[in-house]
Structure 1
Amino acid sequence: METIGEAFQALSGFLWGPPLIILVVGGGLYFLIYSRMGPYRYFGHAIAILRGKYDDPDDPGDITHAQALSAALSGTLGLGNIAGVAVAIGMGGPGAVFWMWVTAVVGVATKFFTCTLSIMYRGRDSIGQLQGGPMYIIREGLGERWRWLAVFFCVVGLFGTLPIVQINQLTQVVRDVIFVPAELVDPDNHFTFDLIFGLLVAGIVAAVIFGGIKRVGYVAARLVPSMVAVYLLMTAGVLAAHVADLPGHLLFIVRDAFTAESIGGGVLGMITIGVMRGAFSNEAGIGTEVMAHGAAKTKEPVREGLVAMMGPVIDTLIVCTCTALVILVTGVWQQEDLGGVSMTAMAFGDVLPGELGAWVIAFVVLIFASSTMFTFWYYGAKCLGYLIGAERQHWYKYFYTALIVVGAVVSLEAVFGIIDSAYALMAIPTMTATLLLSPRVLAAARDYFQRLKRD
């Protein structure tokens, strides 16, 4: 397993080289400048849309604006905010968090452009149902000669939407926090536990995903707000106890981002890690969230773009920052024997009384990981449906459920390497199509904002 993990880590490191970083971060910066930061001025209007002020049950689509954002956030507000931040700090040092912030700031513009397109260029699948996503944006917006790019996105999307990171880290935290301390599992021989736990979770996830996207949206809309509130309350408690240290740690993050004094890999290596983990956290420019927002009930593409742009602010600028500060102020990031979600669990365990912190973080990870696993099935199924026909896309549910069990028993390095590699490849068609179609988004935005001012 270690050899496989190292191979996938090497592959992801190669794919996330300077050209792709320029495409993702530079592309987001281009959207920000090209739009003259127009979308950034409409967060208040986005909240009004989210609250249902403009909902019309007769509009085309499957789920409301709120459910679309919740479904997208259930995919992004997952292990990227707990394990992903810990991995970023462990591999790239505290400065990597700064580059995660950069992906979020420009990711606001990226999400606005990509998710506006998700409504603007929805298309019919092989059974006539309205669908959204990068593959339909490419097919409907760029035409038949670009169809190969849509196929490429769907092929790599089948791997990028696997639930292996979520189940892997959920298994790890439940095992290390609950069963190992109780001496019910041998910390050096836990394959049987991992397998049984993976089978149990697979059964729970199957019960939800076989209900379709409407059930996913229903469950996500109830899980996500409460899960974020509980996690932020926990982090607020930890940070309040270290409030005097926060300015120094924030300054350290910024300074380390340009000096890489905490690691030996240099600034470029730190930027690569920060951008990878930022992409895993908010998925701006990757394309998965475009599929969720493409299911929203609306006739106004710009409205869904405004709702979607809130995602990077919530999951990266707020939640990931809280996680990073908890890890830094408690000093656990300097312990070499900790990795992934165990680092975050240890940080809370060091502050909250007794074993309460570790137990609470285990519960939060359960909710975070479960909500993400509920959502990612939908993305993969849409990719398969585009490739072989929507009437056969339900086959992905069985494949997806089986991969939950596999993800529970493989190494952390392998699962992150697989997903990072797939995300890198998914970003190429998503960002390419969005850059080519960006003038149409800007024209639609200008028209919408002018009508909004007149109303």
Structure 2
Amino acid sequence: MNLDKLAYLAPEKGIDEIINDAFTPVADAWGSIVLFRVFDIPFILILLVGGALVFTVYFSFVNIRRFPLSINIVRGKYDEIEQGGDPITTPNLNIVDGDIVDTIRIEGQAGEVSHFQALATAVSGTVGLGNIAGVALAIALGGPGATFWMIAVGILGMSTKFVECTLGVKYRDIAADGTVYGGPMYYLTKGFKDIGKTGLGKALAAIFAVLCVGASFGGGNAAQSNQAASQLASLIGWEGGSSGTVIGIVLAIVVGVVIIGGIKRIAQVTEKVVPFMAAIYVAACLFIIFANFSFIDDAFALIFKNAFTPEAGLGGIFGVMIVGFQRAAFSNEAGAGSASIAHSAVKTKYPASEGLVALLEPFIDTVVICTMTALVIIMYNSSGIFEYGGASVMIGGEEVEGAVLTSMAFEAAIPWFPYILTVAIVLFAVSTMISWSYYGLQAWMYLFGKSKAADLSYKIIFLVFIVIGAAANMSAVWGFSDAMILALVYPNMIGLFFLFPKVKEELNRYLDAIGVARFFNKKE
């Protein structure tokens, strides 16, 4: 398509508007396919919530019962039986699952990053602008009660993360040089071969890979740089067409320096950036929450009351549930399979160990950060600044977007906080781009081969999209890209429903290994 010619034919429109006009029908059609409804509920929501509930029950509430164990794994308590520390010594030859206990540490060297680094990389891909803007909008439209259902789905989603990330490690490929290749592409291919459905597995893997590449360029990249550039330009008062381009180039350089180094460099950066950005945001939320200490009990009472007796506007309880379910499911990406790509690179001999670490991700993203954002919005609106349950958020006669609403809520308590929020948004955006570059690269190399040429070509295209995203304002394109992320759910969840019994085997194997370690440590 010759954009210059189009611009000549419609000189009153900019390139952004022309692309949007041309792409909107495509974006709308794709959105209708991905978000088609059954009984007026998006089917993807039924798939995500229903699947999470099945996994939670099947694994005996692993999300709750094994939560303390997950914390201990991240702390490194069981590294000696996975990949670090001294081997366990025993007076006699002891064999567990065909492995000599004394050699478990030596055999468990496969992998590239630690449990904490894998978790930080995955969290950086999910904790982002949705936690700031999406939650604010969900609370405004669905009322305080949406928070309750958001937390409920976040807790259920922990079980889904456990399943997909255990499979990611179990079926990963490890090259001769130690480079790890993992994610849904591999457990769909290899896992389905195990159960005699090779053709279906290959088809689902190819579909997932194509969608993942598209999602990495769009929702995981260009949309992020666009929001970061807009926030920066607005803060410093930099108007004009060149501002986005310049900011995009700077962002591309920063991201490029990180991603050229591969997963090890990405993990080293995210393990520092993620705790820092989370600490900034959580500290600000806690400041506002405790500054309104007397209203904390009222806020929670409002959340529980509105969850079951909501205000009119979205079809009662059912509508509030859908808003909460949707925000939680779409925020933590449990079921999309993307995070399993990062978790697959962990150094461990036991796949279930990383699955247990991964279940912390929805807890951090949804139960902690999203809930804190919700409390800040509810407290901000304690004096009735806007009405819950409307089709949009109206303040002072003007429609307000989610990110702006969050900024206003923080600014009301901390006048200078918009500056800090800008830093948080930029960090969220950069960390998300870094993580999604790895997700997209893994899918790209699955499709085009694991060569240096494939690696370099993807990274160049990815960096170009950062600049394009920052310089443009193509909402229809970004909407299409976000829908591609949601579309990942379909091939991935089909895979999980077929393969989750394999996860049970891995969980028992890991728990048995921990039991052996504890037994001999007590004897010593």
Instruction: Normalising by structure 2, report the TM-score.
Output: 0.78
Distance in 1 separating the partners of 2:159 and 2:64: 8
Question: Is the counterpart of residue 53 in structure 1 residue 77 in structure 2?
Answer: yes
Q: 1:244 aligns with which of 272, 294, 300?
A: 294
Question: Is the counterpart of residue 134 in structure 1 residue 184 in structure 2?
Answer: yes
Q: 1:164 aligns with which of 200, 204, 222?
A: 222
SS at match of 1:62: coil
Q: Deviations over 1:319-372 (max 9, x none)?
A: 11111211221136653532132222221111113xx11111111112221111
User: Aligned residue for 1:383?
Assistant: 443
Distance in 1 separating the partners of 2:140 and 2:32: 16
User: Aligned residue for 1:352?
Assistant: 414
1:294, CA displacement in angstroms? 0.5
CA, structure 1 residues 273+388, in 2 after alignment: closer, same or farther (shift >3 Å)? farther
CA, structure 1 residues 262+97, in 2 after alignment: closer, same or farther (shift >3 Å)? farther
CA, structure 1 residues 276+200, in 2 after alignment: closer, same or farther (shift >3 Å)? farther
Q: 1:28 aligns with which of 41, 52, 56?
A: 52
User: Aligned residue for 1:373?
Assistant: 433
Q: Give the aligned length.
A: 445
SS at match of 2:399: coil
Counting only pairs closer than 5 Å after superposition, residues 2-81 of structure 1 correspond to structure 2 as 3=21, 4=23, 8=27, 11-12=30-31, 15-16=34-35, 17=37, 18-55=42-79, 56=83, 59-81=109-131
CA, structure 1 residues 423+251, in 2 after alignment: closer, same or farther (shift >3 Å)? farther
User: Aligned residue for 2:405?
Assistant: 343
Question: Is the counterpart of residue 107 in structure 1 residue 157 in structure 2?
Answer: yes
Distance in 1 separating the partners of 2:153 and 2:473: 27
1:93, CA displacement in angstroms? 4.5
Larger RCO (CA under 8 A, 6+ residues apart): 1
Question: Is the counterpart of residue 435 in structure 1 residue 497 in structure 2?
Answer: yes
Q: Which amino acid aligns with 1:46?
A: S
Counting only pairs closer than 5 Å after superposition, residues 109-124 of structure 1 correspond to structure 2 as 109-123=159-173
CA, structure 1 residues 269+50, in 2 after alignment: closer, same or farther (shift >3 Å)? same
Q: Which amino acid aligns with 2:216?
A: T
Counting only pairs closer than 5 Å after superposition, residues 14-413 of structure 1 correspond to structure 2 as 15-16=34-35, 17=37, 18-55=42-79, 56=83, 59-90=109-140, 92-123=142-173, 129-143=179-193, 144-145=198-199, 146-162=201-217, 163-176=221-234, 178-180=235-237, 184-185=238-239, 190-257=240-307, 261=311, 263-264=313-314, 271-331=321-381, 334-335=394-395, 336-353=398-415, 356-391=416-451, 392-411=454-473, 413=475
Q: Deviations over 1:221-268 (max 9, x none)?
A: 111112211211111111112223333333444454556636447666
SS at match of 1:337: strand
Q: Deviations over 1:378-412 (max 9, x none)?
A: 00011110011121133211121111122224448
Distance in 2 separating the partners of 1:259 and 1:383: 45
Gap regions ≥5 residues in structure 1: none
Distance in 2 separating the partners of 1:274 and 1:412: 28
Deviates more, 1:68-77 or 1:395-404: 395-404
Retained in 2: the 8 A contact 1:173–1:345? no
Distance in 2 separating the partners of 1:126 and 1:60: 10
Instruction: Normalising by structure 1, report the TM-score.
Output: 0.89
CA, structure 1 residues 260+199, in 2 after alignment: closer, same or farther (shift >3 Å)? farther
SS at match of 1:401: helix
1:73, CA displacement in angstroms? 0.8
Q: Which amino acid aligns with 2:34?
A: L
Q: 2:508 aligns with which of 446, 449, 454?
A: 446
Q: Deviations over 1:195-226 (max 9, x none)?
A: 32222212211121111111100000111112
Distance in 2 separating the partners of 1:165 and 1:106: 28
Distance in 2 separating the partners of 1:175 and 1:156: 31
1:106, CA displacement in angstroms? 0.9
Q: Deviations over 1:10-40 (max 9, x none)?
A: 7436523332212111000000011111352
SS at match of 2:119: helix
Q: Which amino acid aligns with 1:175?
A: A
Gap regions ≥5 residues in structure 2: 1-16, 85-107, 386-392, 519-524
SS at match of 1:82: helix
